[in-house]
Amino acid sequence: MKKLLLISSLACLTFIKVSAQQDPQYTQFMYNKLAYNSGFAGTEGDKICVTGLFRSQWMGFSNGSGLNTTNTTSGQSDIGSTPNTFVGNIHSNIGNHFGIGLNISSDKIGFQNNLNPILSIAYRYNFSNGSLLSAGIGGGIMQESIDGSKLKPLDIGDPKIPIGNVVAQAADFNFGLYYKQPSLSIFDDFYVGLSATHLNQGIINLYGSVNSQMRMHNYLVTGAVYNGLMGGNLALEPNILVKYDQAKLTTDINVMAMYNNKFRAGLTYRTIDAISFLAGYKFTPEWQIGMAYDFTTSKVRDYSNGTVEIMMKYCFTVHLKEKPPPIPIPRLTPRFL
């Protein structure tokens, strides 16, 4: 019953004037950079990279699965209790200086759904030492929908609570800078990115006088690889992500270990929120999967069984065959008969 009351309170708060739009968070942020940095588009060489990630946060609000269930005590549905996020993106370079990418995220929180497709275009400058600097802009929409038929208002006929499904959207723009360098001191594959989402801070007119205003989110991400262990068979990959949403500052500090360029495992500490265990496997240099489990450290742990995240990434190269030169065909003309 406590879980149902907590989620109902969170859902009802949606219908007062909202002053912030919280971006979804990702424990495996280091494999999902396009989701928050448009400058990352086209920075993985000549490869076309596709990434999919599913996150089920704070499992336990609906029996740990996010499935439609019924509370045996109250007889009310627990549908939508567990926040679920899916993000999918694809990006590639275009020629020597441009990159393009598409990121689509779907975030479900209670009875509210957020859909955010963003198309990114980046310009890349390549340095003679193999480093690159990329600047990207992204544009799309933020769409919000709420199923008011599943809400139980305290006052019947409250004008701020819809009785059916309502949908609204607003334009959304992002910006990002991304820098990559082959080596830095004892590290390889050093990278750093600086980005901002919801630059225009659009207002979504959701229902009557109820609206939701997006707030700018700022990100700083950096990481590298240290290959000097066990004769090169073991590599350490430190990664840091700093997030600021005008309400709070959080930092993810991560260290991954990769053995034989196949097996990966690591830990992440997220300030205020969680400690995470990560694992992954690279089937080939092009195809890898990853999993993460967050142990909640905030007060939400009283209602949560933790958070699970699953990631899959595949990169491939398109080889275009050159057309063979045309076979010369001898021709006779009356001039040379």
Kindly list the domain boundaries of the chain, sorted by start residue.
2-318
**Has residue 335 got a pLDDT over 80?**
no
What is the C-alpha to C-alpha distance for residues 226 and 188, in angstroms, rounded to an integer? 6
**Lowest mean per-residue pLDDT among 67-71, 86-90, 274-278, 312-316:** 67-71
Supply the pLDDT for residue 287. Answer: 95
**Average pLDDT of 33-38?**
97
pLDDT band (50, 70, 90) for residue 231: confident
Supply the pLDDT for residue 61. Answer: 60
pLDDT band (50, 70, 90) for residue 209: low
**154 or 284, which is more confident:** 284
Q: Which of 43, 48, 83, 41 is nearest to 62 (CA)?
A: 83
Q: How many DSSP H helices and E strands does the chain contain? A: 1, 16
Residue type, 227: N
Name 2's Cβ contacts closer than 8 Å, sequence gap at least 6: 303
Supply the pLDDT for residue 299. Answer: 75
Supply the pLDDT for residue 283. Answer: 95
pTM (predicted TM-score): 0.82
* Chain centroid to CA 162: 30
The answer to whether the beta carbons of residues 5 and 12 sit under 8 Å apart is: no
Across the chain, what does the average pLDDT equal?
84
The answer to whether the beta carbons of residues 215 and 232 sit under 8 Å apart is: no
The answer to whether the beta carbons of residues 135 and 122 sit under 8 Å apart is: yes
**Lowest mean per-residue pLDDT among 145-149, 233-237, 261-265, 318-322:** 318-322
**Average pLDDT of 25-42?**
96
CA distances from 335 to 205, 318, 329, 330, 331 (A): 79, 48, 17, 14, 11
What is the C-alpha to C-alpha distance for residues 252 and 269, in angstroms, rounded to an integer? 6
**Has residue 15 got a pLDDT over 60?**
no
Q: Which of 6, 12, 17, 8 is nearest to 158 (CA)?
A: 12
C-beta neighbour count of 94 within 10 angstroms? 13
What is the C-alpha to C-alpha distance for residues 59 and 67, in angstroms, rounded to an integer? 11
What is the C-alpha to C-alpha distance for residues 10 and 109, in angstroms, rounded to an integer? 9
The answer to whether the beta carbons of residues 307 and 293 sit under 8 Å apart is: yes
Supply the pLDDT for residue 320. Answer: 61
Q: Strand, helix or coil at 302? A: helix
**Lowest mean per-residue pLDDT among 31-45, 116-130, 288-302:** 288-302
The answer to whether the beta carbons of residues 303 and 78 sit under 8 Å apart is: no
**Lowest mean per-residue pLDDT among 106-110, 217-221, 240-244:** 106-110
Supply the pLDDT for residue 207. Answer: 77
**Average pLDDT of 15-21?**
43
In the chain, what percentage of residues exceed pLDDT 70?
82
Which of the 8 DSSP states describes residue 96? Answer: T
Q: Strand, helix or coil at 40? A: helix
Name 173's Cβ contacts closer than 8 Å, sequence gap at least 6: 137, 138, 139, 198, 199, 200
Q: Indicate the CATH number for domain 2-318.
A: 2.40.160.40
**Average pLDDT of 150-157?**
73
Supply the pLDDT for residue 331. Answer: 63
Supply the pLDDT for residue 81. Answer: 63
What is the C-alpha to C-alpha distance for residues 214 and 172, in angstroms, rounded to an integer? 9
In the chain, what percentage of residues exceed pLDDT 90?
58
Q: Give 54-105 pLDDT, tens digit per residue.
A: 999 877 665 444 444 444 444 444 444 678 999 999 999 998 999 999 999 9
What is the C-alpha to C-alpha distance for residues 254 and 241, in angstroms, rounded to an integer? 8
**Average pLDDT of 299-321?**
83
pLDDT band (50, 70, 90) for residue 19: very low
